[in-house]
Structure 1
Amino acid sequence: MRAWPALLLLVLAGPAAADDSARAAARAVIARQEQALSRDDAQTAYDQAAPAIRALFPNADLFIGMVRNQYRPVYRHRSFVFGDARDTEAAGVVQLVAIQDEYGVDWTAEYSLVRDADGQWRITGCRLIKAPGTSA
């Protein structure tokens, strides 16, 4: 009879452990891209993007140009701190990142990631939200 509680605990702990490893892997992908952007390493930053993103921007130079122009707080910042993450129904991860841009403005970046056909996590999108009370 004592085996049941231990077995139940293992069954219940299994999904949480998988979720934690998925979140850690997703953070690693975001960190690789963030570090690559800080070095202007367009190819490594581009490699972290999902195929659908790479289809929109067919080479690394176009991709980094888009990030530089449309995601400036991600491209250049004073701080980049991982926050909460959650699993999504589409078998992906949403990871929040607190960013302070190069001008001292606070942002939240909401990254979405999915596991690619090759088993690697890739970034499918990033939504930037300016902190309340900041000017446009």
Structure 2
Amino acid sequence: MPENPESIGIWSRNRDVGQQCTKGPFRTRESSYSFISDVLNYGGLKMRRQIGIALLITAGLFGSPAASQDGKDEVAGLAQNIIAQQINAFLNDDAKAAYSLASPEIKSVFPNAERFFDMVKKTYAPVYRPGNYAFGRNQISKDGTVAFQEVLISAPDGKDWAVYYELKKQQDGSFAINGVRMKRETSSQGI
């Protein structure tokens, strides 16, 4: 409790004008500390627990978005790494390596690496032989199990494409490419 329960306003009735301010917004650090300790001592253990719980909840609320963003950044990085590995496999004509990065759903449609590789050559020529490529926007599902990644590709013929990859999280925690959609990018100024 305050030293003098009859104190009024900022100054106590019993204090000289030259003494430190003990109440209101002008109190010193020392008097602020004593005010807080007075409140804690007055409220006892119950109040200390409530303040502690409130601080933990506040820290949890403010800590979650950063942790959540870190997780999304990590998934986006994994997705970009897998896409880059597959593009490198295409550039090196390594059908097995490119096929190994496809999801089980894709592998069920194309049961071997050669059929998959032939399909990519015929249908996705800019992905098979990109001139240049750069990663664009990405989006991660709320549960972190699906990643969408835009890749901007300049094909060897000079045409620009926006390629949208879908990657799904596998049982072992890794991601695999589950689909690709291409769109001719007519407004691009090149990469």
TM-score, normalising length: structure 2 = 0.65
Unaligned runs of 5+ in 2: 1-50
The residue number in structure 2 matching 1:126 is 180
Equivalents in 1 of 2:142, 2:101: separation in Å? Answer: 21
Q: Which has the higher contact order (CA 8 A, sep 6+)?
A: 1
What is the aligned counterpart of 1:65 among 89, 101, 118? 118
Larger radius of gyration: 2
Equivalents in 2 of 1:81, 1:16: separation in Å? Answer: 22
Superposition RMSD in Å: 1.8
Compute the displacement of 1:87 (Å). Answer: 1.3
Unaligned runs of 5+ in 1: none
The residue number in structure 1 matching 2:147 is 93
Equivalents in 2 of 1:77, 1:112: separation in Å? Answer: 19
- The structure richer in strand per residue is 1
Among the aligned pairs, what percent are the same residue?
33
The residue number in structure 1 matching 2:129 is 76
User: Structure 1 stretches (4+) deviating beyond 2 angstroms?
Assistant: 1-9, 88-91
Equivalents in 1 of 2:80, 2:154: separation in Å? Answer: 18
Equivalents in 2 of 1:23, 1:102: separation in Å? Answer: 27
Number of aligned residues: 134
Equivalents in 2 of 1:12, 1:52: separation in Å? Answer: 33
The residue number in structure 1 matching 2:160 is 106
